[in-house]
Amino acid sequence: MAVLLAASPARPRGRLQALPAFIFLAFALIPIVALFAGGTYLVSLGSRVMIFAIAAVALDLLVGYGALISFGHAAFIGIGAYAVGILSVYGITDALVSLPVALAVSAAYAFLTGVVCLRTSGVYFIMITLAFGQMAFFTASSLAPFGGDDGLTIAARNTLAGLPLLRNERAFYYLVFVCLLGTYLFCRALVGSRFGRVVRGAKENPVRMATIGFDVYRFQLLTYVIAGALAGLSGFLLANATEFVSPAYMSWQRSGELIVMVLLGGLGSLDGAIIGAAAYLLTEEWLSGVTEHWKVIFGPVLVLVVLFARGGLIGLARGLARRFARA
């Protein structure tokens, strides 16, 4: 893990960022491609990828830039999703209410747990975030009025200011697209800002940061809250995409999958988190069609990526690009 966490330099700005431009262009074009092939299946798969990419980008903020390995990130997705589900039980089905509630509740959970988690570091941080994640999972499982273990079916997607906009698959897709783009641009600005520089510095040498005069804890806590709220946004979208919420959204396996996405794509670049989410979900989709035991194949592939492609897929791509540039 230490090797993977080693470096996340601030990237130089000024020139056009080819990779993110390509990623977002590709996402923007998917519904158009779907007109000719794939249909709504492709559009809803694309939505799903982008929804998890939002959570993965938020997790990269913690793991890649702050060296805070959160093993309970799925809890925030679940909390965002349950906000939508529980509100709909009470007849509140407009996104203008449910979205702010989803963000506020997940941010509040991040704040309350972060206050405790961030007193620890290293393995203890991993364990305690896992514990809080499981706490959310078991709480959701025991919510009998809201489906308990079985989860909760949502009658219909949220309306947006009274309009049934999200019920159109393409409109919903572009809403998710805007959310991902906004998340990405916000996080990109964040890591380059004064605030982000302190967070990155604390990852490199927390003692030095303290003796320069920074109360590292406060900066990490705010980062944790931001990452939690963004995962809550992802949960809000997920509940609307599936019209269903379940405790499984918060399981530790799901938290583990998010870490895998970020590692697979490449830590500390934000682009990598999006690529990793796409690679993970598309591989899952494809392999699970081939065989029920798809994880038997996926596991070794992941090991190979971690062993031979330091810096994940994005590192691999950069290495290849460099080789081509030289040739």
Partner 1 sequence: MPDAVLHLERLRKSFGALVVTDDLTFDVMPRELHAVIGPNGAGKTTLINQISGLVAPDSGTIQFAGRDITALPAHARAELGLARSFQVSSILPGFSALENVALAVQSRAGSSFRVLGRAAAEAALNDPAMAALADVGLAERAHVPAGELAHGEKRALELAIALAMQPKVLLLDEPMAGTGREETARLVELLRRLKGRFAVVLVEHDMTAVFALADRISVLIYGRILASGTPARVRADPRVVAAYLGDEME
How would you classify the pairing of strands 244-245 and 152-153? antiparallel
Assign 91 to helix, strand or coil: coil
Size of residue set near partner 1 by CB under 8 A: 31
Other Cβ atoms closer than 10 A to 100: 12
Tokens, residue 21: 């431009």
Q: How far is the CB of 172 from partner 1 (least distance, A)?
A: 29
Among 94, 192, 306, 317, binds partner 1 (CB under 8 A): 192
Kindly state the smallest distance separating residue 225's Cβ from partner 1, in Å.
Answer: 12
Given the structure tokens 């990598």, which residue do they identify? 272
Select from 2, 3, 9, 325 the one that contacts partner 1 (CB under 8 A).
9
Q: Which of residues 215-274 bind partner 1 (CB under 8 A)?
A: 215-216, 219, 222
Q: Among 37, 155, 207, 290, which residue sits at the site for partner 1 (rule: CB under 8 A)?
A: 207
Window of 9-17, 159-167, 246-254, 281-289 that interacts with partner 1 by CB under 8 A:
9-17
Binding partner 1 by CB under 8 A: which of 121, 201, 248, 294?
201
Task: Report whether 231 contacts 80 (CB < 8 A).
Answer: yes
Report d(CA 327, CA 322) in Å as an integer. Answer: 9
Does residue 2 interact with partner 1 by CB under 8 A?
no
Of 15, 155, 194, 292, which lies in the binding site for partner 1, with binding defined by CB under 8 A? 194
DSSP bridge partners of 244: 153
- The number of C-alpha atoms within 13 Å of 95 and in the hemisphere containing its C-beta is 22
Residue 214 binds to partner 1 (criterion: CB under 8 A)? yes
Tokens matching residue 79: 């909390």
Q: Which is nearer to partner 1, 59 or 187 (CB)?
A: 187
CB of 170 to partner 1, least distance (A): 32
Closest CB to partner 1 among residues 185, 321: 185
Smaller CB separation from partner 1, 13 or 326: 13
Among residues 120, 153, 205, 253, the one that binds partner 1 under rule CB under 8 A: 205
Q: How far is the CB of 285 from partner 1 (least distance, A)?
A: 35
213, 290, 292, 307: residue in contact with partner 1 (rule CB under 8 A): 213
d(CA 96, CA 159): 8
In the block, tokens 């996926």 appear at 298
- Residue 119 engages partner 1 in binding (rule: CB under 8 A): no
For the bound state, the minimum distance from the C-beta of residue 190 to partner 1, rounded and expressed in Å, comes to: 5
Q: Which of 78, 198, 174, 88 has its CA nearest to residue 135?
A: 78
> Distance between CA atoms of 97 and 107, rounded to whole angstroms?
16
The whole-angstrom separation of Cα 265 and Cα 56 is 10
- Alpha-carbon distance of 296 to 220, in angstroms, equals 37
Indicate whether 20 belongs to the interface with partner 1 (CB under 8 A). no
| Residues between 40 and 99 with contacts to partner 1, criterion CB under 8 A | none
d(CA 70, CA 113): 11
All residues at 6 or more sequence positions from 221 whose CB lies less than 8 Å from its CB, including other chains: 111, 114, 115, 118
CA distance 45 to 31: 11
- Which span (5-13, 50-58, 62-70, 77-85) binds partner 1, by CB under 8 A? 5-13
Smaller CB distance to partner 1: residue 152 or 216? 216
- Residues that bind partner 1 in the complex, under the rule CB under 8 A: 6-10, 13, 189-190, 192-198, 200-201, 204-205, 207-216, 219, 222
